[in-house]
Amino acid sequence: MTLQQTLETQIKTAVEKLYGATLESVELQATRKDFEGDITAVVFPMLRVVKGNPVQIGEAIGNYLVENVAEIEKFNVVQGFLNIVLSDAYYLNFFNSVDDFSSFGKVPQGNEAMMVEYSSPNTNKPLHLGHVRNVLLGYSVAEIEKAAGKKVYKTQIINDRGIHICKSMLAWEKFGNGETPDSADLKGDKLVGNYYVKFDKEYKKQIEVLKQDGKTEEEAKVQAPLLKEAQQMLLKWEAGDKETVALWNKMNGWVYKGFEETYKSIGVDFDFYYYESDTYLLGKDIIEEGIKKDVFFMKDDGSVWCDLTEDGLDEKLVLRSDGTAVYMTQDIGTAVQRVKDHPDVGGMIYTVGNEQDYHFKVLFLILKKLGYSWSKNLFHLSYGMVDLPSGKMKSREGTVVDADDLIAQMTETARTISEELGKIDDFSKEEKEQLYKMIGLGALKYYILKVDPKKRILFNPEESVDFQGNTGPFIQYTYARIQSILRKAGEVSTEPVLSGDERLDLTAFEMHPKEKELIKMIQQYPETIQFAAENYSPALIANYTYDLVKEFNSFYQNVPILATDNETEKAFRVKISRAVGEIIKSAFALLGIEVPERM
């Protein structure tokens, strides 16, 4: 039984014995920083069954707890809040009971799997800043779910077909002169993206010519020869034309290779891939079944719809009158196919921008109406846009912030700031480059992940690579400082310094208040992982880590670690430092961030 469960039971018992009343639940929360205490029981909700003064009720329950719960040392009551102070022995016993802080807080994997979809790019352009937030969120949520005990499949659906893909293909065919990634010395996704931009430029020129001939802008957009050729190319692809399919395969191959390089550079991975070219015809059979079940209905023109008006939404088209599918049809079919492919999947997380909020509401509701048991465990990990100080991005016009360029810029920013600090002069050139990239990527990832996913972000590269404040480099620097302490401990100690799994004799040990605060923070890590998993929020992990690091730095500045003459104190403080370091490393791994041994 956890301490929280013990407290709940004992408070219910106290109310029953003292007042002859039955409490259904007990509200417990962490004590506010400005009051003495570790856990606070809120008395006000108890007044529904216990009549009286909340302060007097709190005092009576507090006295009962001190007498009956060994871990409770004392208490104080502020208005209707019973602040409970736990004994040093409780915290020391907890700390000494953990065998391995590197795996602390992580739960063994269960049988039911969760599928997490993220990235899902188009094969007509490179990954950009918007994709970066997507892949960082999706990857981190997948890692957090795994740490919380879920079996996780990381996946993406690649949008590799459609008119936008044909635009790049057509532009390359017309203007490419056989150019390849090798001949251009360019990543394949960038090369293909250049031709997407080229199509748009040439298309706009044709629109202007048609407007000069008297066409309206709308007429010109529809009648431009380049667009008609792209539409014709799409029809050829759908008909399986050999030359068109061969060109499609070749250019997509260039893009996939480019994507993989970017994913490797960012430090994310996938277990399974789905391709829209394989899935775009899925779902029609499910629509037919849904008509029989009265989930869908057919209109006079032959189109099929789902009436969601009773659910506060509208009617949704799921099949056109000519029998062709819409995106909703495809998404229904893909969801069902994924469970067929992986029968242990009991839910899915879709990492997609907030412009698709309505789409996913409708999708999840339709899947629920169709009777799929796993539909209750579907979640749209919705996120806001990422802006730079320079403004919005437009891929058609080639003004997008390329993910590779962003990583290079972050590395360069980290280099400039690190060289100004001048603490790595003894590093080799290779070690320096590795460190710059680790700091730059850590800064980028932390800056994006510390914010609630739903909020829009204005990303400032210089601000993110600050070695002070709530930033990735500040936390990385603290980790490196801890490693330095551990190295020095080995040099200065007269006795072997305790490793993580050794027990200290702490029976007569008196903790410094800063040590107690640090252990309290450490103790919160497992529930932080679970809470982050329940809320699909890497921000909870990021901000917990920052709070832990602030607490450690306060401890470091106020308590002598290696300078104390008391060997038990020294061993305990080294061990607590090691524990904090291992939790920082563990938490940052959940965010996809590496930590340096030296900095």
Task: Verify that 424 and 535 share a domain, yes or no.
Answer: yes
Task: Verify that 175 and 38 share a domain, yes or no.
Answer: no
Task: Verify that 19 and 167 share a domain, yes or no.
Answer: no
In a domain, 442, yes or no: yes
Task: Verify that 532 and 407 share a domain, yes or no.
Answer: yes
Using CA atoms, how far apart are residues 582 and 482, in angstroms rounded to an integer? 10
Contact 81, 43 (CB under 8 A): yes
Choosing from 221, 241, 274, the residue where a domain stops is: 274
In a domain, 79, yes or no: yes
In a domain, 392, yes or no: no
In a domain, 413, yes or no: yes
In a domain, 334, yes or no: no
Task: Verify that 456 and 572 share a domain, yes or no.
Answer: yes
CA 166, 171, 175 angle in degrees (round to 5)?
A: 155
Helix segments in 69-187, DSSP class H: 88-97, 129-147, 163-175, 181-184
Choosing from 56, 86, 116, the residue where a domain stops is: 86
For residue 233, what are the domain limits? 162-274
Choosing from 67, 86, 105, the residue where a domain stops is: 86
Task: Verify that 79 and 185 share a domain, yes or no.
Answer: no
- Provide the pLDDT for residue 568: 86
Using CA atoms, how far apart are residues 160 and 278, in angstroms rounded to an integer? 9
Number of domains comprising the chain? 3
End-to-end CA distance of the chain: 42
Task: Verify that 182 and 71 share a domain, yes or no.
Answer: no
In a domain, 122, yes or no: no
- Provide the pLDDT for residue 190: 96
- In terms of DSSP bridges, do strands 304-307 and 297-298 run parallel, antiparallel, or are they unpaired? antiparallel
List per-block mean pLDDT (blocks of 10 residues) for the chain, which spans 599 residues: 89 96 94 93 95 95 96 95 94 90 94 95 92 96 98 97 96 97 97 96 96 94 96 96 98 97 97 95 94 95 96 95 92 97 97 96 97 97 86 49 89 86 81 93 96 90 86 96 94 50 65 93 96 97 98 97 90 94 98 95
Task: Verify that 168 and 64 share a domain, yes or no.
Answer: no
CA separation (Å) from 106 to 100, 348, 377, 531?
11, 21, 22, 12
Residue 54: give its domain's CATH number: 3.30.1360.70
Task: Verify that 74 and 177 share a domain, yes or no.
Answer: no
In a domain, 172, yes or no: yes
Task: Verify that 463 and 580 share a domain, yes or no.
Answer: yes
In a domain, 228, yes or no: yes
Q: Answer whether 0.95 is exceeded by the pTM.
A: no
